Amino acid sequence: MNKMNMLSSINDLLSHIKEVEQNTIEMSQESMLMISKFFEDNSIELDDNASKALQYQDIISQQLSATIEAIKSVQQSINIFKNAQNSDEIIANESIKKLHSKLSKTLKTAKDKKEAFLGKLSNQNEADEIEFF
């Protein structure tokens, strides 16, 4: 598995966790509203423990919100890395194409020079031979 696939899997997992946490926050808030309404409808005063329990619901929601924000931050970093990696890969591929093109031209020039040199050499040999006759 390459690193991009692995990062996509991690990103998908983080999205799922974020969704579950958001659902948990919503259920917790609904639960808190239902309990508060029950106490209000029945004119029940909250004792310290009941009040603390309702505060815990709020604290749990805040903690889940904080982890959602942390997950979003990690996902942004993953996306930045993936985009940079894709961009770098495109740049690298373009650079390789340019390098290949330059090397091909250099090789052609070298071969042409070799051929030209060999041509001069063979022409020079023929000229030398003609001079000797």
Q: Give residue 102's pLDDT.
A: 84
Q: How far apart are CA 121 and CA 103, in angstroms?
A: 26
User: Residue 130 above 50 pLDDT?
Assistant: no
Q: Is residue 29 part of a domain?
A: yes
For 45-98, write each residue's pLDDT tens digit: 989 998 898 899 889 999 999 999 999 999 999 888 888 887 777 887 788 888
- Structure tokens that stand for 39 in this block: 């106490």
Query: pTM for the complete prediction?
Result: 0.63
Say if residue 110 is exposed, middle or buried (CB neighbours under 10 Å; 0-12, 13-18, 19+). Answer: exposed
Q: Is residue 130 part of a domain?
A: no
Q: Give residue 42's pLDDT.
A: 95
Rounded alpha-carbon distances, angstroms, from residue 72 to 84, 87, 88, 108? 18, 22, 24, 53
Q: Is residue 120 part of a domain?
A: no
How many separate domains does the chain show? 1
Q: Is residue 69 part of a domain?
A: yes
**Domain extent for 75:** 3-99
Q: Is residue 132 part of a domain?
A: no
